[in-house]
Amino acid sequence: MTEFDYLSVRAQFPVLMQTLNRGLRPTFLDSGASAQKPACVIAKEREVEEQYFANAYRGRYLFGARVDDELEAARQKVAVFLGASSPQQVAFVPGCTAGLNMVAFGWANKHIHPGDEILITLMEHHANFVPWQQVALERSANLRFIPMTDDGRLDLDRIDEVLTSRTKVISVCGMSNVLGTINPIAELAKIAHSSGAILVVDGAQSVPHMASRVQETDVDFLVFSGHKLYGPTGVGVLYGKADRLEALDPTVFGGHMIDRVWADRSTWATAPAKFEAGTLPIVQAIGLGAAVDWVNSVGLEAIHQHEQNLLAEATRRLSDFPGIRIFGPGLEHKGAILSFRFDDLHPEDLALMLDRKAVFTRHGHHCTMPLHDLLGVSATTRVSFGAYNGTDDIDALVGAIEFAREKLGVSGVQNK
């Protein structure tokens, strides 16, 4: 196997090639929150703005026609990237959070009734947690949680404890944004379907790091955001099986999503238009197509392997620090996320010190308060990897942690 050339990957990201104050280079380890964009994506956005911008699906003039073509090409790229059978199953939505809300409330409309059950997990990001919680409250349904093992995996041996004939939806993340846990999506789809439920996947963290294969895994809905896949902010994707999209009610109404409007009622366009009310994030959606091209040019599998190698290396080196607790399962069950906490070094202090060394990580509860309650800590530090990271970033991270420990004198302080 040839070595993954992360330096030439990084060279395509202008933001990472800067020299900061005091000659520091940015060590960006927060791709789990938002990835950086390669020059080709930025150029594509610029191309749209400078050469043919117009509203989409409205004006049949030169610019409008070009925008329509570019959008449909982007839709096609996303469909192929996800392994979907048709671009008509790909709706552009404002982001992953919006998409998950659309699925939760749109599905609840006709398919979730009082006494029904919704099954999620305690490792969900609030974006895949709170919408279902609110649906359950509104519809007098029960929100239940798939049991977890002590190391932060779903314990499917115990799924019978929570799966019932009233379970209508199972909604899980493809990969945990804190633990890094990769969930067994195909298995969950089988479980859901065997009890007449649908499987919804929050792909925010999984889609950028591993093949989604939506047909093979048989998921009913999958949602992800563009900006974690080296694309622009403000655009996400709602994928659904054709029949599921037909059964899903729209929750946002307006232009383009209708078939016919009368004074007293309306009928809807077919998917994906049904879920694309109003003016689309046109530039961003086309930019997302360019991001998919970019990922394909490097190779998703190659990126995955590289990131897993970084994860292994970082885990090994951080484990050498005394008093560190690394969260989540073993490497064979997790993706490119490493969350940890020191006994004697608060994430708040650590973040401040890492920032001084231009090592950019995230700290806090990462929009997973129920998970942090379970872990028994209020905050963790999270390192997340992208294609442009390398062993030099791990060196910088380790060096910055050493700097923080020295500065904060954690060994000789009376107050923890």
Partner 1 sequence: MTIQELLSEYEELVDWEEQCDYLIDIGRELPVFPEEFKTDSNIVHGCQSRVWLVAGLDQSHDHEFVRLQADSDAMIVRGLIAVLLAAYQNKTPQQVLDTDIEGLFERMGLNRHLSSSRRNGLHGMVERIRRYASEIVGAEGSQ
Chain residues that interact with partner 1, rule: CB under 8 A: 346-349, 352, 356, 363-364, 378-379, 407-408, 413, 415-416
Q: Which is nearer to partner 1, 242 or 379 (CB)?
A: 379
Query: First-to-last CA distance in the chain?
Result: 46
Q: Which is nearer to partner 1, 152 or 347 (CB)?
A: 347
| CA–CA separation, 143 and 369 (whole Å) | 16
Stretch (H or E) spanning 105: helix 96-111
| CA–CA separation, 199 and 392 (whole Å) | 39
Q: Which is nearer to partner 1, 247 or 352 (CB)?
A: 352
Whose CA is closest to 239, among 85, 344, 378? 85
Q: Which is nearer to partner 1, 187 or 355 (CB)?
A: 355
Q: Which is nearer to partner 1, 217 or 361 (CB)?
A: 361
**DSSP-assigned letters across all residues of 378-402:** S-EEEEE--TT--HHHHHHHHHHHH
Buried b (16+ CB within 10 A) or exposed e, 24-55: eebbbbbbbebbbbbebbbebbebbeeebbbe
CB of 407 to partner 1, least distance (A): 7
Q: Which is nearer to partner 1, 348 or 392 (CB)?
A: 348
CB of 352 to partner 1, least distance (A): 5
Cβ-proximal residues to 60 (8 Å cutoff; 6+ apart), any chain:
none
* Amino acid of residue 264: D
Among residues 40, 96, 173, 367, the one annotated as catalytic is: 367
CB of 360 to partner 1, least distance (A): 12
* Amino acid of residue 374: L
* φ/ψ (deg, to 5) at 67: -60, -45
Buried b (16+ CB within 10 A) or exposed e, 75-113: bbbbbebbebeebebbbbbbbbbbbbbbbbbbbbeebbe
> Do the Cβ atoms of 44 and 287 come closer than 8 Å?
yes
CB of 362 to partner 1, least distance (A): 11
> Do the Cβ atoms of 169 and 197 come closer than 8 Å?
yes
CB of 389 to partner 1, least distance (A): 22
CB of 317 to partner 1, least distance (A): 24
96 is catalytic: no
Q: Is the peptide bond before 272 cis (omega within 30 degrees of 0)?
A: yes
Q: Which is nearer to partner 1, 309 or 378 (CB)?
A: 378
CB of 403 to partner 1, least distance (A): 11
**What are the catalytic residues?**
367
